[in-house]
Amino acid sequence: MRRADRRRRGTTPWAQAAASCPPVRRPTAARLLRAAVAVGVAGVALAGCSATTDPTPTLPADVAAALHAELRQDRTQYADRTASLRVVNDSGRDLVLLGGTVTAPGFDPTTPDGGTDRPLPAGAGRDVRLRLGTVDCATPPDDGDLRAVVRVALAPGEETGRTDVDEAGLGEAGLGEAGLGTAAASAAASGIEVEVPVTDPLGRLAAVHAEVCAERLVATGARLEVGGVEAAEVEGRGGGRAAGLRVTVVVTPVVGGPDVQVVHVTGTTLLTPAGGATTWSGDAVVPADGVVVLDALPARCDPHAVGEDKRGTFLPVVATVDGAEQPVVYLPMTDAGRAAVYDAIHDACGWD
C-alpha cells in the first residue's frame, strides 16, 4: 500500500498512536482556577509543616485562671498509696481533662494510675487518678509548697477559628481532613499544661509521709507481721466467754538494729479487743517467744460492714524505736488471714 493511502486510512504509526490515547480535554478557566487554589493551599500547608508538625495548643487566660484542684484519698486508695486529684473547672468553657501531676516536698512526683481523657464541663469537677511518688523521709512534707499541673484542652466545639482549607471548601479532597485537620486534632489531643492552685484539706500527704517513715524506722529494729488468724472462745464484753477470734503478731528483732517495743494495738472497723477494752496494751502486747497474741471480738455484727470492708483487717500498731514513740503503722493480713477474719465474724455473729 502506498504512503498516501495509509495517510488517508489513518494507518500511519502516528495515527495509530493517537488512536490508542484517550481524548485530551482542553482545560477550562474554572478548572485552572480550582487547581491553582488547591496547589496554593497545599503549599501553605507544606510550608507550615516545615516549621512545625502540629499547631501549638492554646487556652484562654481566663479559662486557665478558673481552674483549681484538691488532693483526695479515700479508703479504697489508702492501702495502695494512690490518690485522686480533683480538678474543678469554674470557667464558662467546656474542657477535656487529659492528665495531671502533683509534686510535694518529701515525695517524688506522682505518676498516672489509669487513663484520664474525660470531659470537664464548665462548672464541674473530674478526678485524675494518681500513684503517689516514693517518700523521701529526709525531707519533711510542706503543704505550702504543694504544686499541681493539669493537662487540658478545649472541648470539641469550643475551639475558635477555621482553617483556610475549610473555608475554601476543599475538605472533600482530603487535604483539610487528613492534613491541617489532623494536625489540629493532634494539638487538641496533646492539650496544654497549666499549673493550678491545689490544696490537701485532709492532710493526706502528711499522714502518708509519717506512716511510711515510721514503717521504715520500725523495720530497722524489728519485722512486724500478722501471723495466724483463727476462731476462738475469748472473754466477752460483759464477762464470761464469747465466740471471737485470735490474731497473732510475729515480732522478729533485727540483729544490730535499734530496740523496738510495741506500745499498743488499736481496734479496727471489724475487730475490737476482747473483754471490752479499747486497745490491746500492757501485758497483752508483750511478745512471748516473739509472738503477741490478740484476742478479739467482732466490732459489729453488720453484714454490710464485712461486705464493704476496706481497712478492717489492717492492724494499727504504735511502737517505740529506742524509746521514741512513732506514728501508727498498719500491719496487713494475707488473703487467707482476711478470709479467716470474715469467717470468724460470720460464726460469732450467728449469721445464716
pLDDT number for residue 39: 39
The set of cell numbers assigned to 317 is 500498731
Distance CA 203, CA 72 (A): 9
Distance CA 215, CA 230 (A): 26
Q: Which class is 61-158+188-202 in CATH?
A: mainly beta
Question: Can you spell out the DSSP letters for 10-79?
Answer: T-SHHHHHHHHSPPPPPPPHHHHHHHHHHHHHHHHHHHHHHH-SSPPP---HHHHHTEEEEEE--HHHHT
Q: Give 151's strand partners.
A: 99, 193
Distance CA 151, CA 251 (A): 47
Q: Coil, strand or helix: which one is 86?
A: strand
Q: Where are the domains of the chain?
A: 61-158+188-202, 220-349
pLDDT confidence bin for 3, thresholds 50/70/90: very low
Q: Give 193's strand partners.
A: 151
pLDDT number for residue 352: 78
Chain segment 220-256, per-residue pLDDT in tens: 999 999 999 999 999 998 888 999 999 999 999 999 9
Backbone dihedral angles phi then psi of residue 217, each to the nearest 5 degrees:
-70, -45
Asked which of 21-25, 126-130, 311-315, 335-339 is least confident by mean pLDDT, the reply is 21-25
Q: Coil, strand or helix: which one is 271?
A: strand
Backbone dihedral angles phi then psi of residue 167, each to the nearest 5 degrees:
-65, -30
Question: Which segments of the chain are extended strands (E)?
Answer: 67-72, 82-89, 95-103, 111-112, 118-120, 125-131, 147-154, 192-196, 198-199, 222-235, 241-253, 260-266, 271-273, 279-281, 291-298, 315-321, 324-325, 329-331
Chain segment 134-144, per-residue pLDDT in tens: 999 999 999 88
pLDDT number for residue 188: 52
Is the pLDDT score of 218 beyond 70?
yes
- For residues 85-105, average pLDDT: 97
Distance CA 19, CA 126 (A): 70
pLDDT number for residue 159: 63
On whether the pTM is more than 0.75, the answer is: no
Backbone dihedral angles phi then psi of residue 46, each to the nearest 5 degrees:
-65, -35
